[in-house]
Amino acid sequence: MTRIHSHSRGKSQSLRPTSRTAPSWLSYSTDEIRALIMKLSKEGLGPSLIGLSLRDQYSIPSVRAILGKSLNSILKESNLEMPTPEDLDHLVRRAATLHNHLRTHHGDRKNVRSLELLEAKIHRLSKYYKREGVIPDSWKYSAVVAQLT
- Taking phi over 0 as left and psi of -120 to 50 as alpha, with beta for the rest, 16 belongs to beta
Residue 149 has pLDDT above 60, yes or no: no
Using a pLDDT cut of 70, give the percent of the chain over it.
89
The pTM of the full predicted model, rounded to 2 decimals, is 0.77
DSSP notation for 33-84: HHHHHHHHHHTT--HHHHHHHHHHTS----HHHHHSS-HHHHHHHTT---SS
**Model confidence pLDDT, tens digit, residues 104-141:** 998 999 999 999 999 999 999 999 999 999 999 998 88
Q: How does residue 88 score in pLDDT terms, banded at 50, 70 and 90?
A: very high
